[in-house]
Amino acid sequence: MNDRIIGQVKRINGPVIEVMGITDAEMFELVWVGKEHLIGELIKLEQDSAVVQVYEDTTGIAPYDPVYGAGMQLSVELGPGMVGTIYDGIQRPLEKIRDISGIFIKRGISVPSLDREKKWHFVPSAKEGDTVSSGMVLGTVQETENVLHKILVPPNEKGILISVVPEGDYTVEEVIAVLEKEDSQKKDLFLMHRWPIRKHRPTKGRLPLDIPLVTGQRVIDTLFPIAKGATVCIPGGFGTGKTMTQQAVAKWCDADLIIYIGCGERGNEITDVLTEFPKLIDPRSGRSLMERTILIANTSNMPVSAREASIYTGITMAEYFRDQGYHVAVMADSTSRWAEALRELSGRMEEMPAEEGFPAYLPTRIAEFYERAGSMETLNGERGSVSVIGAVSPPGGDFSEPVTQHTKRFIRCFWALDRNLANARHYPAISWLESYSEYLSGLEAWWAEKAGSEWLPDRTEIMELLHKEVRLQQVVKLVGPDALPDSQRFILEVCTLFKNAFLQQNAYDKIDTYSVVPKQAKMLHIIVTYWRRGSEMIKKGVTLVQLRKMKVYQDIIKMKFTISNDDLQALDKIEAYLERSMDQLEALHA
């Protein structure tokens, strides 16, 4: 720890401290405050004074206490040992801290983010004499069974390797290679390196978002699909299922790694995540989900300034794995708590408030966060992506509040949670009326290849029916359903069937909890076929009661529970049975 004193405490205002007599400091520099060395970050500089936000409880700090500078910005350690670890908002490993200080985090405690003693088996792929540059792979470490950790040349470094260690076991602090730079200076390279959390990691450029992030949740994949590299907002009031939806996506999506950020959430919710995730089985590997997950736990009773940093800590980790060619999904739960932390810190710094007390720079901070998502060509020519799925907790479920509205400006997919659906135990409670996805056009070709050319017309037709149903429900409230002709009542019937047999998903049912893409497409086509043929039959005199009495109708209702993902021929049989049943009805009324 650095003992370079850069100033003295002048004034304490909660987690915000004014420092006087500043010498040799820079913006966003990592600092330690007081004799207990409380960790903080310098966020404002003015002549010989500065403002520091402290990531721990500042009780006991007094005027004239020393402030020490680290000589670097607040950074995270990136290297083997991150996957499967539970960190706090500034990348301190909570399990290691518990072993040292018990169930409460002692102030000023300092524990390395990565284990300094554990040895990793390093297999070099670069050799002595190679010319290397930023992002090139020096070798690999098998971190977990699912994650092959690629050791990269740190950003902004290039030169000639003058030595590389042989294959063997090394700690993250042992030198694995020596780089001679263009100015003849030598730089030691390790299994790990540091990177500032507020700074984007460099890439070659952005790539089109044309590969979907398949979640196995039918309402998402079919109606409001997202791409790898997407930005998503999940707004919803208390109890509408934001955390549950994020956990379902985290478990079932086809991302290579999951980074779950519990930002300012209640302790019991974070506890549920910490206890459930290690028990969850990754459906692709059959092993624990934690072998491809990093958890950042920053509960509401932790220091508010650490909540503000946790979002950046998580996205920086995601960018690091993206640079290795992985597809990473970041679950931020919730960005509202992060915005509230900004509001509190801004108030303590006596800045001019904007709407609802939030700082005027709130939209800028939200934009800076979400723009770090995307599908990228990495510096070594691979394709990697960071998808950001951020939950928003608008007070009272009011989507017109600033955080929701500003977030909508910078994201391209909106999964609005509906309290009425949640109260009716319809999960996922994603409203098909308020939600939207702007990724549909880019993913159309992929869906046509994997699910058939009928997928897009089927989806378009069912969305039109759902919107027609809203208008008809208004009429029903006035005059009742019996006043409607069968052709309009059939629209209500089909929409109810679609909601119950397709959109609603049971997370506790082994078959229904996850649906592969071909199964989703076939289920959708069966329901749309029932609508198309049924509406023709009604024009020919068939009654709605006759359509409901068909035996195949019950098969359609139950297909999500009875037909597994690997038995898609059974869906073909239901479709053929539906066509025969319709033909028989048509023959009766010929």
Residue at 99 is within a domain: no
b/e per residue, 375-390, with b = 16+ CB within 10 A? Answer: bbebbbebbbbbbbbb
Same structural domain for residues 536 and 503?
yes
pLDDT(357) > 60: yes
Section 542-556 average pLDDT: 92
Contact, 114 vs 82, CB < 8 A?
yes
N- to C-terminal Cα separation, the chain: 89
pLDDT band at 370 (very low <50, low <70, confident <90, very high): very high
The per-residue pLDDT for 15 is: 92
The per-residue pLDDT for 307 is: 84
Contact, 210 vs 442, CB < 8 A?
yes
Tokens of 378: 């990495």
Same structural domain for residues 236 and 374?
yes
Same structural domain for residues 488 and 560?
yes
What backbone phi and psi angles, to 5 degrees, belong to 288?
A: -60, 140
b/e per residue, 558-571, with b = 16+ CB within 10 A? Answer: ebbeebeeeeeeeb
Between 67-71, 416-420, 565-569, 585-589, the lowest mean confidence (pLDDT) is in: 585-589
What percentage of the chain reaches a pLDDT higher than 70?
99
Q: What DSSP letter does each residue of 447-487 carry, written as one string? A: HHHHH-TTHHHHHHHHHHHHHHHHHHHHHHHHH-GGGS-HH
pLDDT(524) > 70: yes
Residue at 81 is within a domain: no
Average pLDDT, the chain: 92
> How large is the angle between the packed helices 304-322 and 362-370, nearest 10 degrees?
30
Residue 481's closest CA among 554, 553, 544?
544
SS3 213: coil
SS (HEC) of 533-587: HHHHHHHCCCCHHHHHHCHHHHHHHHHHHHCCCCCCHHHHHHHHHHHHHHHHHHH
Which has more confidence, 192 or 307?
192
The CA distance from 312 to 257, in Å, is 17
Same structural domain for residues 187 and 266?
no
The domain boundary residue, chosen from 439, 469, 487: 439
Same structural domain for residues 273 and 390?
yes
Residue at 411 is within a domain: yes
Tokens of 74: 């607040």
What's 346's domain CATH number? 3.40.50.300
- C-alpha 588: how far from its chain's center? 54
Same structural domain for residues 417 and 511?
no
Residue at 96 is within a domain: no
SS3 75: strand
Separation in Å, CA 79 to CA 66, 128, 143, 152, 509? 32, 22, 10, 9, 38
Same structural domain for residues 281 and 171?
no
User: What is the H or E stretch that residue 531 is in?
Assistant: helix 517-539
pLDDT digits (tens, 9 = 90+) for 96-141: 988 888 777 788 888 999 999 999 999 999 999 999 999 999 999 9
Q: CB neighbours (10 Å) of residue 4?
A: 14
pLDDT digits (tens, 9 = 90+) for 170-194: 999 999 999 999 888 999 999 999 9
Same structural domain for residues 186 and 50?
no
- C-alpha 287: how far from its chain's center? 21
The per-residue pLDDT for 551 is: 93
The per-residue pLDDT for 323 is: 97
Which has more confidence, 23 or 518?
518
The CA distance from 222 to 447, in Å, is 9
Same structural domain for residues 258 and 382?
yes
Residue at 581 is within a domain: yes
Separation in Å, CA 247 to CA 236, 251, 269, 307? 15, 6, 11, 20
The domain boundary residue, chosen from 439, 469, 485: 439
Contact, 269 vs 262, CB < 8 A?
yes
Residue at 129 is within a domain: yes
Residue 164's closest CA among 132, 208, 210?
132
Residue at 84 is within a domain: no
The CA distance from 181 to 159, in Å, is 4
Which has more confidence, 360 or 291?
360
Residue at 561 is within a domain: yes
Please list the residues that pair with 53 across neighbouring strands: 16, 41
pLDDT(392) > 80: yes
Query: Which residues make Cβ contacts (< 8 Å) with residue 554, sequence separation at least 6?
Result: none
Contact, 375 vs 329, CB < 8 A?
no
The per-residue pLDDT for 446 is: 96
The CA distance from 500 to 271, in Å, is 32
Beta strands in 103-236 (DSSP E): 120-124, 131-132, 137-142, 148-152, 159-164, 168-170, 177-180, 186-189, 193-196, 205-206, 231-235
The per-residue pLDDT for 159 is: 94
Separation in Å, CA 482 to CA 134, 498, 506, 548, 550? 70, 21, 32, 16, 21
The CA distance from 256 to 99, in Å, is 30
List the domain range (segments joined by +) for residue 531.
452-588
The domain boundary residue, chosen from 164, 195, 226: 195
What backbone phi and psi angles, to 5 degrees, belong to 172?
A: -70, -10
- If one counts the domains in the chain, the total is 4
pLDDT band at 427 (very low <50, low <70, confident <90, very high): very high
The per-residue pLDDT for 47 is: 87
Same structural domain for residues 230 and 163?
no
Residue that is written with structure tokens 């195949």 in the block: 552
Q: What is the pTM of this model?
A: 0.93
Residue that is written with structure tokens 């009495």 in the block: 549
pLDDT digits (tens, 9 = 90+) for 44-102: 998 899 999 999 888 889 999 999 999 899 999 999 999 999 999 899 998 898 888 87
pLDDT band at 1 (very low <50, low <70, confident <90, very high): low
The per-residue pLDDT for 590 is: 67
Same structural domain for residues 426 and 487?
no
Section 325-347 average pLDDT: 93
The per-residue pLDDT for 106 is: 81
Please list the residues that pair with 20 across neighbouring strands: 8
The two beta strands, 205-206 and 49-54, are unpaired
What's 563's domain CATH number? 1.10.1140.10
What's 48's domain CATH number? 2.40.30.20
Same structural domain for residues 230 and 367?
yes
The per-residue pLDDT for 82 is: 96
The CA distance from 415 to 463, in Å, is 15
Please list the residues that pair with 417 across neighbouring strands: 430
Q: What is the DSSP letter of 491?
A: H
Separation in Å, CA 202 to CA 254, 316, 326? 25, 11, 15
The per-residue pLDDT for 2 is: 62
